[in-house]
C-alpha cells in the first residue's frame, strides 16, 4: 500500500469528487461528510507513512509509469511519465496541505449556498494541490498547476464577497500570465533535454530530475549551457531562469506582482483564504526550489543578488502596506507578502541555513496564516465588518478569541517560541553568512530585512491596541450582541493550529530533519554545478 501512497492522496479526492456528482444536491450534509472524510483519510494515510519515510534517503514513495510516448519521426520521441515522489522539499508541504485542507473543510461548515458545487470544487482543488507538490515530471506538474486555477477561480467568484468578479478574474489572469512564462520554459526545456541510454533516436522527456543534470542537455540545443545564443545582455539559460522566476514570483507573490493577493483574499470566503494563504502561495516557493534553481543553478547564482533584493523589497513594502491597511483581512494579506519575502531571501542566500529557513518559513507560515485567516473569519461571521477602526476593546467581550489572536499575532511577528521565529532566524543566519561564504548577497540586505521584523511588530501591536484593548466600543452599525466568543467548531480549528505553531517553534527538529537533507543537496548542487558552468558575460 505504501508504494501507492501518493496516488492514493491524489486520486481519493478526485474519485470522491466524481462520486459526489451522483449525489442529489439537496443532501447538503452528505457533501460535508464526504469532504471531511476524504481529508481525514488523507491525514491518516500520510501520518501512517511518516514512520516509513527516511529523511536521509532522498526521493521516496516513487511511482513512475509511462504516460505519453509519441514517436514523432525526425523529431525523436516525446515522452511524459506519471512520475511522483516525496522528498525533503515536498514531504513537509504535502503534510501541511493535507492538514490545512482538513481545517479548511471544517471551516467550510458554514457555507450554505450551493453546497454541492462548493465541496466538489474543494475536492478537485485538493487533488490538484497534492499533485503539484509531488510531481517530478514537468508536464504533470504543469497539468496540476493549471488545474488548480479553475476550482480556485470559481470558489472565489461564486462564494466570494462584493467585488468577487474583479478579484477572481484578476487572480486568474495574473496566475495565467505566470504560467505562460513557465510554459515557454517548459517547451524550451523538453526540446533541449534528452534521455540517455535509450536504444535509438532522441527521447525528449519532461523528467525534472534529468533537467537538473547538464549532461542531459542536447549539444547545440537552446538551453544547453554551451549555447552562445543571447538576447540583450542575458543568454538563453538566464532568460529561462528569469521567466520561471517571474512565473513563480507571481504565485508567491513578490512585489511588484503581488497586487492580486490582497484583492483575492479580501473577496474570498474564509476557508478559501485559508487555502490560498497557507498552501497556494507555497507553490511559488516550491517551484523556485524544485524547478527554477536546480535546473538553472548558474543563473540562480548570477541573479541571487537580484532575488535577494526583491525579497527584501517584498518584506519591507508588504509590511508598510500592512501597516496602512484599514481592513483586517487586507492587513493579514499584506503580512503574507512580507513573510514570503523571507522565502526569497533565504533561497537567494544559497546557504544551507538560508534554504532550510526558507522552506521552514513556508511550513510555519502555512500554519500561522491559516490561523490568522480563520480568526478574521470568526469576526466577520459575527459582524460582517472587518474595518479595524470600527472596533475597540474587544478583549472585554471576547476573551478566548483575544487569546487566540494574541497567539497568532505573536507567532506571525516571529516571536521566539513560535514556528515563525525558527524560520526567520535561519534565513537571517543564511543571509548574514552568504556574503562571506558564497559572496552572493550584500551584508546590508540582511540588515534591511530585520527592519521587516520591526515593522511586523509595529503593525500587529498597533492593531492589537486599536481593536482589542482600551474601552469597549463598536461603530458602523455593528450589533453588540453578535460579538459572542469562539464556539466549539472554531476552537476545533484554532487549538490544533495554535498547538502546532507552538510545538514547531519549540521543537522544530522533526520538520528540520526532513528539510535539511534537501537544503544540503540544493546548496551543494548550486555551488558545484552553478560554479562549474561559467556564465557567458
Which range touches other proteins (CB under 8 A), out of 143-151, 280-288, 376-384, 425-433?
143-151
Which of 30, 36, 41, 176 is close enough to bind other proteins by CB under 8 A?
176
- CA angle 495–501–506, rounded 5-degree value: 125
Residue that the C-alpha cell 513573510 belongs to: 339
Which is nearer to other proteins, 287 or 530 (by Cβ)?
Answer: 287
Report the nearest approach of other proteins to the CB of residue 221 (Å).
7
Residue 177 touches other proteins, criterion: CB under 8 A: yes
Residue 506 touches other proteins, criterion: CB under 8 A: no
Q: How many residues bind other proteins (CB under 8 A)?
A: 35
- Which residues pair with residue 79 across a beta bridge? 69, 205
CA distances from 510 to 50, 169, 400 (A): 10, 40, 30
Residue 15 touches other proteins, criterion: CB under 8 A: no
Residue 147 touches other proteins, criterion: CB under 8 A: yes
- Which residues pair with residue 137 across a beta bridge? 207
Which is nearer to other proteins, 138 or 459 (by Cβ)?
Answer: 138
Note whether 139 and 229 are within 8 A (CB). Answer: no
Which range touches other proteins (CB under 8 A), out of 178-186, 274-282, 306-314, 349-357?
178-186
Restricted to residues 343-402, the positions that interact with other proteins (CB under 8 A) are: none
State the Cα–Cα distance between residues 43 and 62, nearest whole angstrom: 19
Residue 154 touches other proteins, criterion: CB under 8 A: yes
- CA angle 58–59–62, rounded 5-degree value: 160
Sheet-wide strand order for 203-205: 60-71, 77-86, 203-205
CA distances from 338 to 249, 311, 464 (A): 13, 8, 19
Which is nearer to other proteins, 257 or 360 (by Cβ)?
Answer: 257
Distance between start and end Cα atoms, the chain? 52
Report the nearest approach of other proteins to the CB of residue 119 (Å).
16
Residue 272 touches other proteins, criterion: CB under 8 A: no
Which of 36, 43, 150, 464 is close enough to bind other proteins by CB under 8 A?
150
Note whether 398 and 486 are within 8 A (CB). Answer: yes
How does 375-391 read in b/e, with b if 16+ C-beta sit within 10 Å? bbbbbbebbebbebebb
Report the nearest approach of other proteins to the CB of residue 203 (Å).
14
Which of 102, 122, 157, 441 is close enough to bind other proteins by CB under 8 A?
157
- Which residues pair with residue 60 across a beta bridge? 86
Residue 222 touches other proteins, criterion: CB under 8 A: yes
Which of 42, 207, 221, 392 is close enough to bind other proteins by CB under 8 A?
221
Residue that the C-alpha cell 509595529 belongs to: 458
State the Cα–Cα distance between residues 339 and 342, nearest whole angstrom: 5
Which is nearer to other proteins, 118 or 459 (by Cβ)?
Answer: 118
Residue 447 touches other proteins, criterion: CB under 8 A: no
Residue 19 touches other proteins, criterion: CB under 8 A: no
Which range touches other proteins (CB under 8 A), out of 153-161, 271-279, 357-365, 423-431?
153-161
State the Cα–Cα distance between residues 514 and 88, nearest whole angstrom: 5
Which range touches other proteins (CB under 8 A), out of 150-158, 288-296, 379-387, 432-440?
150-158
State the Cα–Cα distance between residues 290 and 42, nearest whole angstrom: 24
Report the nearest approach of other proteins to the CB of residue 136 (Å).
17
Which is nearer to other proteins, 24 or 471 (by Cβ)?
Answer: 24
Closest C-alpha among 290, 304, 283, 284 to residue 238: 304
Residue 421 touches other proteins, criterion: CB under 8 A: no
Report the nearest approach of other proteins to the CB of residue 100 (Å).
24
Report the nearest approach of other proteins to the CB of residue 187 (Å).
5
* Binding track, positions 55-84, relative to other proteins; x by CB under 8 A: ------------xxxxxxxxx---------
- Which residues pair with residue 473 across a beta bridge? 392
Which of 83, 118, 133, 172 is close enough to bind other proteins by CB under 8 A?
172
Which of 15, 23, 30, 191 is close enough to bind other proteins by CB under 8 A?
191
Closest C-alpha among 524, 105, 533 to residue 279: 105
162-170: which pairs have CB atoms within 8 A and are 24 or more residues apart? 162/267, 163/263, 163/266, 163/267, 164/267, 164/268, 166/263, 166/267, 167/260, 167/263, 167/264, 167/266, 167/267, 167/268, 168/264, 168/267, 170/259, 170/260, 170/263, 170/264
Which is nearer to other proteins, 33 or 70 (by Cβ)?
Answer: 70
Which range touches other proteins (CB under 8 A), out of 37-45, 184-192, 282-290, 393-401?
184-192
Which of 23, 41, 59, 183 is close enough to bind other proteins by CB under 8 A?
183
Residue 536 touches other proteins, criterion: CB under 8 A: no
Which is nearer to other proteins, 165 or 480 (by Cβ)?
Answer: 165
Binding residues for other proteins, per CB under 8 A? 67-75, 142-143, 146-147, 149-150, 153-154, 157-158, 164-165, 169, 172-173, 176-177, 180, 183-184, 187-188, 190-191, 221-222
Amino acid at each position: 500500500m505504501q508504494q501507492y501512497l501518493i496516488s492514493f492522496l491524489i486520486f481519493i479526492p478526485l474519485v470522491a469528487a466524481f462520486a459526489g456528482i451522483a449525489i442529489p444536491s439537496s443532501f447538503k450534509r452528505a457533501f460535508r461528510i464526504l469532504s471531511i472524510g476524504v481529508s481525514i483519510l488523507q491525514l491518516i494515510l500520510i501520518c501512517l507513512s511518516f514512520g516509513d519515510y527516511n529523511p536521509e534517503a532522498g526521493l521516496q514513495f516513487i511511482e513512475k509509469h509511462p504516460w505519453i510516448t509519441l514517436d514523432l519521426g525526425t523529431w525523436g520521441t516525446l515522452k511524459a511519465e506519471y512520475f511522483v515522489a516525496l522528498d525533503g522539499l515536498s514531504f513537509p508541504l504535502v503534510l501541511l496541505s493535507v492538514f490545512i485542507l482538513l481545517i479548511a473543510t471544517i471551516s467550510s461548515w458554514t457555507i450554505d449556498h450551493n453546497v454541492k458545487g462548493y465541496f466538489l470544487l474543494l475536492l478537485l482543488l485538493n487533488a490538484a494541490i497534492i499533485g503539484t507538490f509531488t510531481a517530478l515530471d514537468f508536464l504533470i506538474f504543469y497539468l496540476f498547476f493549471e488545474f488548480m486555477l479553475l476550482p480556485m477561480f470559481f470558489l472565489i467568484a461564486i462564494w466570494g464577497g462584493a467585488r468577487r468578479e474583479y478579484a477572481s478574474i484578476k487572480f486568474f489572469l495574473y496566475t495565467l500570465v505566470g504560467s505562460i512564462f513557465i510554459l515557454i520554459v517548459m517547451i524550451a526545456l523538453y526540446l533541449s533535454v534528452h534521455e540517455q541510454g535509450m536504444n535509438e533516436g532522441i527521447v525528449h522527456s519532461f523528467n525534472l530530475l534529468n533537467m537538473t543534470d547538464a549532461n542531459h542537455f542536447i549539444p547545440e540545443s537552446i538551453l544547453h549551457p554551451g549555447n552562445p545564443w543571447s538576447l540583450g545582455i542575458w543568454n538563453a539559460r538566464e532568460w529561462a531562469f528569469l521567466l520561471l522566476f517571474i512565473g513563480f514570483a507571481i504565485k508567491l507573490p513578490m512585489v511588484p506582482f503581488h497586487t492580486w493577493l490582497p484583492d483575492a483574499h479580501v473577496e474570498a470566503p474564509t476557508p478559501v483564504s485559508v487555502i490560498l494563504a497557507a498552501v497556494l502561495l507555497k507553490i511559488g516557493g516550491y517551484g523556485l526550489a524544485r524547478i527554477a534553481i536546480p535546473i538553472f543553478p548558474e543563473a540562480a547564482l548570477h541573479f541571487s543578488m537580484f532575488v535577494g533584493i526583491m525579497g527584501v523589497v517584498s518584506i519591507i513594502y508588504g509590511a508598510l502596506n500592512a501597516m496602512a491597511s484599514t481592513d483586517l483581512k487586507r492587513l493579514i494579506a499584506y503580512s503574507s507578502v512580507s513573510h514570503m519575502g523571507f522565502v526569497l531571501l533565504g533561497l537567494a542566500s544559497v546557504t544551507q541555513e538560508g534554504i532550510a529557513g526558507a522552506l521552514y518559513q513556508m511550513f510555519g507560515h502555512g500554519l500561522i496564516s491559516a490561523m490568522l485567516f480563520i480568526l478574521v473569519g470568526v469576526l466577520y461571521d459575527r459582524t460582517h465588518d472587518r474595518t479595524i477602526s470600527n472596533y475597540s476593546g474587544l478583549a472585554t467581550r471576547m476573551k478566548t478569541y483575544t487569546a487566540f489572536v494574541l497567539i497568532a499575532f505573536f507567532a506571525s511577528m516571529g516571536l521566539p517560541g513560535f514556528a515563525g521565529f525558527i524560520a526567520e532566524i535561519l534565513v537571517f543566519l543564511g543571509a548574514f553568512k552568504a556574503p562571506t561564504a558564497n559572496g552572493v548577497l550584500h551584508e546590508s540586505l540582511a540588515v534591511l530585512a530585520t527592519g521587516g521584523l520591526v515593522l511586523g511588530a509595529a503593525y500587529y501591536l498597533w492593531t492589537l491596541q486599536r481593536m482589542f484593548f482600551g474601552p469597549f466600543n463598536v461603530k458602523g452599525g455593528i450589533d453588540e450582541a453578535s460579538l459572542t466568543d469562539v464556539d466549539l467548531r472554531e476552537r476545533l480549528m484554532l487549538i490544533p493550529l495554535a498547538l502546532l505553531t507552538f510545538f514547531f517553534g519549540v521543537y522544530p527538529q522533526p520538520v528540520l530533519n526532513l528539510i535539511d537533507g534537501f537544503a544540503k543537496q540544493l546548496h551543494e548542487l548550486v555551488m558545484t554545478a552553478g560554479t562549474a558552468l561559467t556564465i557567458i558575460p
